[in-house]
Amino acid sequence: MNDNFAEIYPLDEFAEVCEWLAFKGWSEAEGGNLSLRLEQDQVPDPLKESDTEPVKLPLNVKELAGKYLLITGSGTRSRDIATEPQNDIGLYRISDDGASYQWIFGNDKPTSEMPSHCLVQNEFVKSRPDYKAIIHTHPTKLISLTHVAEFKDPKVLSDCILGLQSEARIQLPEGIGHLPFCVPGSLELGLLSAEEIKHRNVILWNMHGALSVGTSLNHALDQLEVVEKAAEIYWTLRSAGLPTGGMEQEDLLKSMDFFGRVDRYEKAFKDKK
Ligand code: 2HA
Ligand code: ZN
Domain assignment present for residue 78? The answer is: yes
150 shares a domain with 99: no
Q: Which of 21, 26, 27, 30 to mutate to test the pocket of ligand 1 (most atoms within 8 A of CB)?
A: 30
30 C-alpha to ligand 1 centroid (Å): 7
Domain assignment present for residue 228? The answer is: yes
Number of structural domains (the chain) is 2
Check if 33 has its Cβ closer than 6 Å to any atom of ligand 1: yes
Q: How far apart are the first and last CA of the chain?
A: 50
Domain assignment present for residue 185? The answer is: yes
Task: Say which residues have a Cβ less than 8 Å from residue 151's Cβ, sequence separation at least 6.
Answer: 145, 157, 160, 161, 178
Check if 35 has its Cβ closer than 6 Å to any atom of ligand 1: no
Check if 76 has its Cβ closer than 6 Å to any atom of ligand 1: no
Nearest partner of 179 among 138, 223, 209, judged by Cα:
209
Q: Which of 13, 39, 113, 225 is catalytic?
A: 113
Check if 32 has its Cβ closer than 6 Å to any atom of ligand 1: yes
Domain assignment present for residue 127? The answer is: no
Residue 174, classed as helix, strand or coil, is coil
The reported pLDDT for the residue numbered 39 is 83
**Ligand 1 atom at minimal distance to the Cα of residue 72:** 1
266 shares a domain with 220: yes
Integer Cα distance of 32 and 29 in angstroms: 9
pLDDT of the chain along its 273 residues, tens only? 445 666 566 789 999 999 999 999 999 999 999 999 998 888 888 889 899 999 999 999 999 999 999 999 999 999 999 999 999 999 999 999 999 999 999 999 999 999 999 999 999 999 999 999 999 999 999 999 999 999 999 999 999 999 999 999 999 999 999 999 999 999 999 999 999 999 999 999 999 999 999 999 999 999 999 999 999 999 999 999 999 999 999 999 999 999 999 999 999 999 664
152 shares a domain with 26: no
92 shares a domain with 47: yes
143 shares a domain with 271: yes
How much is the CA Rg of the chain, to the nearest whole Å? 19
Strand partners, 68: 38, 93
Total residue count of the chain as it appears in this document: 273
Q: What does each C-alpha distance from 107 to 52, 81, 90, 235, 238 come to in angstroms?
A: 13, 11, 4, 39, 43
Cβ pair 217, 21 in contact under 8 A: no
Domain assignment present for residue 227? The answer is: yes
116 C-alpha to ligand 1 centroid (Å): 11
158 shares a domain with 263: yes
How distant is the alpha carbon of residue 79 from its chain centre?
A: 18
Domain assignment present for residue 52? The answer is: yes
- Pick the last residue of a domain from 74, 98, 113: 113
Check residue 150 and report its DSSP letter.
G
109 shares a domain with 143: no
**Ligand 1 atom at minimal distance to the Cα of residue 208:** 3
Check if 54 has its Cβ closer than 6 Å to any atom of ligand 1: no
177 shares a domain with 79: no
Q: What does each C-alpha distance from 208 to 30, 35, 176 come to in angstroms?
A: 13, 18, 15
Nearest partner of 172 among 92, 240, 80, 264, judged by Cα:
264
Integer Cα distance of 53 and 1 in angstroms: 20
182 shares a domain with 58: no
Whether 113 is catalytic is yes
Ligand nearest to the CA of 210: 2
239 shares a domain with 161: yes
The reported pLDDT for the residue numbered 3 is 53
- Pick the last residue of a domain from 95, 113, 131: 113
Structural domain boundaries, residue 83:
1-113
Which residue's alpha carbon is at the smallest distance from atom 3 of ligand 1?
184
184 C-alpha to ligand 2 centroid (Å): 6
Integer Cα distance of 50 and 156 in angstroms: 48
Domain assignment present for residue 126? The answer is: no
Domain assignment present for residue 215? The answer is: yes
The CATH number for 33's domain is 3.40.225.10
170 shares a domain with 101: no
The reported pLDDT for the residue numbered 4 is 60
148 shares a domain with 46: no
Q: Which residues, chain by chain, have CB under 5 Å from ion ligand 2?
A: 209
